[in-house]
A and B are shown apart, each in its own frame.
Chain A
Amino acid sequence: MQSRPIALTILDILSVISIGVATYFALVFAPTELFMGQVQRVFYFHVGTAWVGMLGFILAAVAGVIYLINKDMKWDRFEVAAVEISTMFFFITIVLGSIWARPAWNTWWTWDPRLTTAAITELIYIAYFMLRAGIEDPEKRARFGAVYTLLGGISVPITFMAIRLFRTIHPVVVGNESAAAEGGFSMTGDMVTAMLVAFAAFTIIFIDLLWHRIRIGGLQEKVEQLKLKISM
C-alpha cells in the first residue's frame, strides 16, 4: 500500500503552524481599523482565501489543457483536486466578504459587479462536480471536465478585473478604486505584513490540501480498476 511521503507530513505540520501564525497576525499583530473596528480583520483571510481560490481555478484550467494534449489521467486528478480545494476556499472568501459588508455597507449582499462575478465563478465550479457526477466513462468525464475548467477559467480574470473595470462599491487593495467604492481603507505597514503572511499561509495550506486530494484521486482510480478486474 502507498505510504505517506515525509515531505507531505512536513507540509501538514507547516500548514498547521502557518494557519496559527496567519491567525495571530490577523487578530493580534494587525492594528484595529478606526472606522470599521474589529470586522476589518476578516480582510486578511478574505484576500488570502481569494488568492488560493483563483490560483486553483487557473491551475485547473492549465491541467485541463495538458490533459487534452496528452490524455494522461494524472492531470485529471490534479484538475479535480484543484477545483475542489479552490471551491472550498472561494466559498470562505464570499462568506467573509458578506460578513464584512453587513457593517461596512449595511447589507449582507448587493448585486455589485465584483460580488456577482464572484458568485457566478463559485456556481460554475459547483456545477463542474454535477457535470462529472453525471458521466460514468472515466475518459469522457476527464475530457468534458478539462474543457469545462478551460471555459470556467475565463470567469477568474473577469472576477479579478471587475473592480478595476466597472463602477463598483467593492474596495481595491492594489491599484485605483472606483469613485463609488465604499469601505476602503489605507493599509498601514503592519496591515500589509498581516496580509502577506495570510497570502503565504494560505498558499502552503493550498499545496498541502491539493497533494492530499490528488492522492485520494489516485486511490479512487485504483479501487475502480480493481473492482473492474474482480467483476470480470
Chain B
Amino acid sequence: MESIPDTSGYMIAGYVIAFLTMGIHVLSLYIRNKNLRRDLEMLESLDTEKK
C-alpha cells in the first residue's frame, strides 16, 4: 500500500500566507482609521478656532 505523501510544508506555507495577508490588511485598516480620526480631530479644532 502506498503511503500518504508528506506535503505538510506546503500546507503550513499556505496558512501562514493566508493569515499574514489578512493580518496585514486588518492592521492597515486600523492604522488608516486611527490616522483619519486624528486628522478629523485636528481639522475640527482648526475649524472651531476659525469661527
Where the two chains meet, the residues of A that have a C-beta atom closer than 8 Å to any C-beta of B are 1, 19, 23, 27, 32, 34-42, 45, 49, 85, 88, 91-92, 95-96, 99-100, 102-103, 205, 209, 212-213, 215-216, 219-220, 222-223, 226-227, 229-230
Is the CB–CB distance between A88 and B43 below 8 Å?
no
8 contacts across the A-B interface (CB closer than 8 A)? A1-B41, A37-B7, A39-B11, A85-B25, A96-B18, A100-B10, A226-B43, A230-B46
Flag if A92 contacts B37 (CB, 8 Å).
no
12 extra A-B contacts, CB within 8 A, seeds A45-B18, A99-B10, A230-B50: A1-B37, A37-B7, A38-B6, A38-B8, A39-B7, A42-B18, A95-B14, A96-B17, A96-B18, A209-B29, A223-B39, A227-B43
Residue of A nearest to B14 (CB): A42
Chain A residues closer than 8 Å to B40, beta-carbon distance: 1, 219, 222-223, 226
Categorize the interface residue count of chain B. 20 to 34
Known: A45-B14, A95-B14. A37 touches B6 (CB 8 A): yes
Which secondary structure characterizes the binding site on chain A? helix
CA distance A54 to B51 in the complex (A): 48
Which residues of chain B from 1 to 51 have a CB within 8 Å of any chain A CB? 4-8, 10-11, 13-15, 17-18, 21-22, 25-26, 29, 32-33, 36-37, 39-41, 43-44, 46-47, 50
